[in-house]
């Protein structure tokens, strides 16, 4: 019968073997002096090995965690001093500094991979110190509360009509356009803020998703890994056309830039804060919709697009392709919407928008804000062309000379039968 070894016993045995191997290597001139190796030095050696099989987007995320969260706090610490207690203190300090549990858990995963490779090299006597630290509790994932098309139009109308010191005409029109792009095009917020004016295809009635702007601008690196086309209903295209007439795009031709004409790391957070403030007011104004507006976040508008298109009877495969999902993922997230849609007569998303705008007219205030920013649109009726004088050759004293004559003079000359070489 084989005796069972407790995991703690096995761990102690492995540590003794690692110490013996390190001491033997130092005694014979081989190996490394592990007491002098810091985490920053080892991370510089570990990164080329670890990043070889990672995608470009994952490399950016790992580098961000290393440079922002791990190395500034633990980089100068020696590997022999980096135990579970030191990692636990780092976790508490990082949480207190404002890092979210989700981001901290990702940083812990990066640190764990780095330390596991160090353990294999015999550079640390403690093994993986992250394994003995409990990751921070993640917040309970709330079920999204999608908005109906009528609620979306009520939200857009609120933005368009609430023009004051903090919500100026251009900012009001921009917020209404963002709601339209997210709720009717199904773009992720990072995809909408990373879009350029050149990504808009008015002839094809939609937007090409190529770049994203989350913590940084990632060109040609969307979440799906390849460009995709997000179609828009005709009413949303009209909203986008109005916005393009007043938007300069800033220095880099951003589609939805801030008041300063740029998109940065704080652009999303700033607009998310604005949406949160407005949703609280909407919950008070419409008590019957308080359940939906009380938990409104930018990503909920993308959920609204998927839910409303399912209710409209669009094919699941088509919706999944437009949103950048697989059909299985879409069905797993919106199975309850699919079941509910079977009990009602489907109405297309365009029909839902037309019906909602019959109740909440958002087109008229959009045009009013455009005219306020640009001046009234030019009339289509052409102005009458003024009658101009004409330069002609006339016979004066047996020779032809150039003369300027008004229309009335020309009529009198023709009536008198006076010859003219030019006419």
pLDDT score at 358: 87
Q: Which residues pair with 395 in a beta bridge?
A: 400
Give the separation between CA 40 and CA 184, rounded to whole angstroms: 47
Q: Which class would CATH give 7-132?
A: mainly alpha
Return the CATH number of 149-374, one of 1.10.443.10, 3.40.190.290, 3.40.190.10, 2.40.10.170: 1.10.443.10
**DSSP one-letter code for 325:** -
CA angle 292, 258, 145 (to 5 degrees): 10
pLDDT score at 422: 45
Helix (H, G, I), strand (E, B) or coil at 394: strand
pLDDT score at 81: 85
CA terminus-to-terminus distance, the chain? 125
Q: Which residues of 291-302 are buried (b: 16+ CB within 10 A; e: fewer)?
A: ebbeebbbebbb
CB hemisphere CA count around 37 (13 angstroms): 21
Q: What is the pTM of this model?
A: 0.64
Over the chain (423 residues), the average pLDDT of each successive run of 10 is 45 58 46 69 89 80 88 89 89 86 89 88 81 79 78 89 71 89 89 86 87 71 75 89 78 79 80 87 88 85 87 84 82 76 75 86 83 66 54 60 62 63 46
pLDDT score at 7: 46
pLDDT score at 394: 61
pLDDT score at 25: 44
Contacts of 62 (CB under 8 A, 6+ apart): 50, 51, 54, 110
Residue whose pair of structure tokens reads 């031709």 in the numeric block? 253
Give the separation between CA 37 and CA 421, rounded to whole angstroms: 102
CB pairs under 8 A, 24+ apart, for 249-255?
Answer: 249/196, 249/197, 252/196, 253/196, 253/197, 253/198, 254/193, 254/195, 254/196, 254/197, 255/192, 255/195, 255/196, 255/197, 255/199, 255/200, 255/207
pLDDT score at 328: 82
All CATH 1.10.443.10 domain ranges of the chain, comma separated, are 149-374
Give the separation between CA 318 and CA 340, rounded to whole angstroms: 19
Helix count (H) and strand count (E) of the chain?
A: 18, 7
């Amino acid at each position: 019968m084989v005796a069972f070894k407790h995991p703690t016993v096995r761990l102690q045995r492995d540590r003794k073997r690692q110490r013996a191997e390190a001491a033997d290597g130092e005694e014979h001139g081989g190996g490394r002096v592990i007491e002098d190796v810091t985490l920053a030095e080892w991370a510089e050696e570990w990164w080329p090995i670890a990043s070889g099989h990672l995608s470009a987007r994952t490399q950016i995320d790992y580098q961000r965690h290393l440079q922002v969260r791990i190395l500034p706090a633990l980089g100068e610490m020696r590997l022999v001093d980096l135990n579970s207690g030191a990692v636990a203190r780092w976790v508490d300090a990082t949480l207190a500094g404002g890092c979210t549990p989700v981001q901290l858990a990702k940083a812990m995963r990066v640190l764990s991979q780095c330390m596991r490779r160090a353990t294999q090299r015999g550079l640390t006597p403690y093994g993986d110190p992250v394994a003995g630290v409990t990751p921070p509790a993640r917040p309970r994932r709330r079920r999204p509360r999608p908005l109906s098309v009528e609620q979306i139009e009520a939200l857009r109308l609120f933005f368009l009509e609430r023009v004051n010191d903090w919500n100026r005409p251009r900012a009001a029109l921009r917020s209404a356009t963002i709601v339209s792009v997210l709720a009717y095009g199904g773009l992720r917020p990072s995809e909408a803020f990373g879009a350029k004016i050149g990504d808009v295809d008015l002839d094809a009635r939609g937007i090409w998703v190529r770049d994203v702007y989350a913590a940084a601008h990632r060109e040609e690196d969307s979440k799906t890994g390849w460009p995709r086309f997000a179609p828009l209903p005709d009413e949303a295209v009209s909203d986008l056309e109005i916005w393009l007439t007043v938007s300069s795009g800033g220095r880099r031709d951003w589609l939805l830039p801030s008041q300063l004409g740029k998109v940065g790391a704080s652009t999303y957070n700033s607009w998310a804060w604005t949406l949160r403030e407005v949703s609280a007011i909407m919950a008070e104004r419409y008590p019957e919709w308080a359940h939906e507006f009380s938990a409104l976040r930018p990503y909920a508008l993308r959920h609204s697009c998927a839910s409303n298109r399912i209710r409209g009877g669009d094919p699941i495969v088509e919706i999944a392709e437009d949103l950048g999902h697989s059909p299985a993922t879409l069905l797993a997230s919106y199975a309850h919407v699919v079941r509910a849609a079977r009990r009602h007569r489907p109405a297309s998303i365009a029909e839902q928008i037309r019906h909602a705008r019959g109740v909440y007219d958002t087109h008229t205030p959009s045009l009013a804000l455009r005219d306020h920013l640009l001046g009234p649109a030019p009339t289509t009726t052409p102005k009458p062309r003024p009658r101009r004088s004409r330069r002609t050759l006339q016979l004066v004293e047996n020779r032809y000379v150039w003369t300027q004559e008004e229309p009335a003079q020309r009529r009198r000359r023709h009536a008198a039968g006076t010859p003219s070489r030019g006419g």
